[in-house]
Structure 1
């Protein structure tokens, strides 16, 4: 179990926004030039519409974490077939 400070509402929302975007656009951030930046901008814009914000470094970490998690889920799903 992880300890420490609980995630903020903005952080929880950012994870959800990132997951939706990456599932639609693909989780391979190296596939296209500027893909990670586009995802980061999308998250920042969506949070702004909700009256929330996170630092650029936090958004960047969320994007890479979510992309890796999706890739692992896909890999695990393929391994089971």
Structure 2
């Protein structure tokens, strides 16, 4: 497990400033952006369940569909 210890490696293999964000830009790696505190992509919003329609509305809707389908068959 000595290989995982940063102190085991000479500075040519594991530089002492390895974990500093400002160390990497000189090697062409972009600087670390500060965290915004929330994920970049928000989870999709879930639709709230709606209460069922009134019985009268359902009856009227059924009659409407029956009339429309009857007109199409003629």
Q: TM-score, normalised by structure 2?
A: 0.30
**Structure with greater helix percent:** 1
Q: Which has the larger radius of gyration?
A: 2
Q: TM-score, normalised by structure 1?
A: 0.28
